[in-house]
Amino acid sequence: MNIICDTTSPLRLDLFLNQKLNISRSQALNLVKKQLVKINYKIAVKSGILVKPNDIITLSRIIPNECVESKSDIFIQRIYEDNDILVINKPPHLATHGAPSLKEESLVDWLRANKIQLSNISGEKREGIVHRLDKQTSGAMVIAKNNISHMYLSKQLQNHTMGRLYIALIDLPLKDNMEIECNLSRNPKNRLKISKTNRLNGRYSKSNFFKLLLSKDSKKEMILAKLSTGRTHQIRAHLESFNRHILGDSLYGYKGEKMRIMLHSYILHLEHPNLGKMSFVADMFDDMRDYLQNNFDMERVNEILENLSNNKLSFSI
């Protein structure tokens, strides 16, 4: 997991970890002692070392339970929190909410275990959940901590003013930047899938896809997906409609090596109920970053991610 230092001046590493991860300074020291922290991809040897603005702080793996005070077996980074909302970086392999077939802990279970105040207008099983990410998809999610915030955020989803930018790794490069606008509905031949349809009972959907970087062998590509609507499996179904597949997404046609679906919600734009427009960046997890490290020019990847974070792009989003 990577965190970009967003302080305005240098700050001690233990203080930075204390603030960003909501842990004590002694716990931050423990992370450094266990060599779990890197600064700009080099192991941090002292907890008092200064981190500077735009430094990349890496937690080399999921933090073990003894390093973090938690009432759950899951560790989730809190990107931002106040009395109205909580913005998190959801790890992969974590379902948003429970289901009869789900045996492991869900995000809602984690929220309850950590006694986080939640809205309840979506019902007990989906407390606080304004929008969801697929189980294998990682990245930025906003949680409503009260019903007023929930309704305020839900309205933004309905009128498409909540912005979501995803990083995806696909198995065949795009020919050009493109926009997909169509109706989606449950696939009649496979009820697990959502597909493009001409049926009137389909739901309107719109996505834009932007080329970012080819892999070293030019066979794969890192792309940006911008959602204007939030339908189930929208990015996956839209890509399949023109014969592109996210790496690891065997349900939608990927036939390569087995891995989790390489899709990450990187940036979330929203209007806070009281504070106005806000933007949040969720750093990639190690599995996705490791794949990029092995198959893409990592210097270019980091440059692109920094430009995305700072909204310095050569195309309009």
Helix axis angle for 13-21 and 25-33, nearest 10°, is 110
Do the Cβ atoms of 202 and 184 come closer than 8 Å?
yes
3-class secondary-structure state, position 70: coil
Do the Cβ atoms of 205 and 181 come closer than 8 Å?
yes
Write out the two tokens for 240.
């399949």
Question: Which residue(s) pair with 174 in the sheet?
Answer: none
Write out the two tokens for 232.
């189930």
CA distances from 303 to 2, 60, 285, 288, 309 (A): 14, 21, 17, 16, 10
Helix (H), strand (E) at residue 278: strand 276-281
State the number of CA atoms in the 13 A half-sphere of 300 facing the CB: 11
Annotated catalytic residues are 134
3-class secondary-structure state, position 136: coil
Do the Cβ atoms of 113 and 102 come closer than 8 Å?
no
